Amino acid sequence: MSMILGFDTYDVRFPTSLRLDGSDAMNPSPDYSAAYVVIRTDAADPGEPGAALAGHAFVFTIGRGNDVQLAAIRALEPLVAGLDVDEVLADLGALYRRLVSDSPLRWLGPECGVVHMAIGAVVNACWDMAARRAGKPLWLLLAELPPAEIVRLIDFRYLTDALTQDEALHLLEQGREGMAERMALLRRNGYPAYSTTPGWLGYSDDRLASLCAEAVDDGFTQVKIKVGARLADDKRRMAIARETVGDKIGIAIDANQVWDVPAAISWVRELAPAQPAWVEEPTSPGDILGMAAIRNGVWPVKVASGEHAANRVVFKQLLQARAIDVMQIDACRVAGVNENLANLLLATKFGVPVCPHAGGVGLCEIVQHLSMFDYVALTGTMQGRMIEWIDHLHEHFVTPAVVSGGRYLTPQAPGASTRMRPESLAEFSFPMGAVWRATGLLA
């Protein structure tokens, strides 16, 4: 028998606030960070002779509080250490349900915030481990699971008024038709991306324009810019972007939750003539009724939300209330792959396309697997779907996500693409890594 031995945790932080990468109306100067966990076992890793099997994953944070997130991850260690590796990997639905059902930890949410994201990291690390052991990239491992097994991975609690097990099974069985052809297409052509690299709020107009031009040259068909601080600035920046990219490229706008409902409606109406592809996070990510009112009020501008949706119950309601045109899952905000499978099935049931949130630290790397699963084994289409792309910090990953010609290349390496380079873990460890000792930010 092989056993889960325990967790190693790392407080990894990148001093991104020095250049205002990642700056938006809500988050003026983030230090992109990862509360990073390695789940160690004494099993063998078939892909790496002599090495022990391990699973890597993380929660993306923006600096202060990364240590609190790590404390929550470590609080899960006693529930996982000592378990049999084969049993865990054979029934990841059971592990997920055990973690979200632990009554004292559930009290600290329920199913939201630091504890819920910690469960996401642990669940995702186990999926990384499962995929490595299977010798497959995560998207392929998921796509090849029988529909009934996928249904067993999901916690239908609180969902059955919108999606039953039978409906989920039916959607997954439908999704298998033509799967082999789509796998071949995916491997050949990859998956569409859009670029947020140009649009950070702290960037100058010149930088905005040159990065927009670069994005078009690189083959992207949509860019995204941050809005919501000053209306005059937004109009000017939107005009610069539109002039640079032309009429055929989409320009999404992202307010990062800064508006109340009435303000969102009037502000977006002001920007509507520039034809934004969607408006993202116009208000509180948990304000389902407010989001629905905004969607009605800003028509024909589309509303996108979900990167900060706490759990599947919020997604269920956003869909039931017809509050969103585009659903944006995040790989690390909810309780991992399992809860995101529920989210993908909900979106499919309601006919809303999923365009995942990415960027941050490693979010592109992991979430691409979920969109690719969605295409190959569930919705069968890329129509109206694309994954966010920010060309930033990928060099710290062992098998980084790669975008070329405006498309994510399909990962081939075993695992969930979540593994950071050991040198990066060391250099960017907070506060004692070489980079932090050198920045002077700690003084």
- What is the rounded distance in angstroms from the CA atom of residue 407 to the CA atom of residue 197? 15
CB of 390 to its own copies, least distance (A): 16
CB of 15 to its own copies, least distance (A): 13
Q: Does residue 116 carry a catalytic annotation? A: no
- If the CB atoms of residues 106 and 187 are measured against its own copies, the closer one turns out to be 106
- If the CB atoms of residues 107 and 247 are measured against its own copies, the closer one turns out to be 107
CB of 227 to its own copies, least distance (A): 17
- What is the rounded distance in angstroms from the CA atom of residue 96 to the CA atom of residue 78? 15
CB of 83 to its own copies, least distance (A): 17
Q: Can you tell me which residue has the tokens 């690299």? A: 197
Residue 53, φ and ψ in degrees, nearest 5: -65, 135
Contact 343, 311 (CB under 8 A): no
Angle at 193 between CA 26 and CA 228, to 5 degrees: 20
- If the CB atoms of residues 105 and 215 are measured against its own copies, the closer one turns out to be 105
CA atoms within 13 A on the CB side of 213: 8
CB of 160 to its own copies, least distance (A): 5
Among residues 396, 399, 423, the alpha carbon closest in space to that of 34 is found at 396
- If the CB atoms of residues 44 and 75 are measured against its own copies, the closer one turns out to be 75
- Residue of 56, 116, 224, 357 marked active site: 357
Q: Does residue 248 carry a catalytic annotation? A: no
Residues lying near its own copies in the complex (CB under 8 A): 26-31, 61-65, 67-69, 71-72, 75, 102-117, 156-161, 257, 260-263, 283-290, 293, 308, 310-311, 313-314, 316-317, 320-321
- If the CB atoms of residues 104 and 422 are measured against its own copies, the closer one turns out to be 104
- What is the rounded distance in angstroms from the CA atom of residue 372 to the CA atom of residue 206? 35
- What is the rounded distance in angstroms from the CA atom of residue 82 to the CA atom of residue 129? 16
Q: What is the distance of C-alpha 443 from the center of its chain? A: 33
CB of 284 to its own copies, least distance (A): 4
- Residue of 116, 226, 308, 369 marked active site: 226
Among residues 80, 70, 180, 67, the alpha carbon closest in space to that of 129 is found at 80
- 245: which residues sit within 8 A by CB, 6+ positions away? 212, 213, 215, 216, 223, 251
- What is the rounded distance in angstroms from the CA atom of residue 368 to the CA atom of residue 388? 9
Tokens of 410: 């399909």
- If the CB atoms of residues 186 and 335 are measured against its own copies, the closer one turns out to be 335
Contact 370, 356 (CB under 8 A): yes
Where in the sequence numbering do the catalytic residues fall? 226, 357
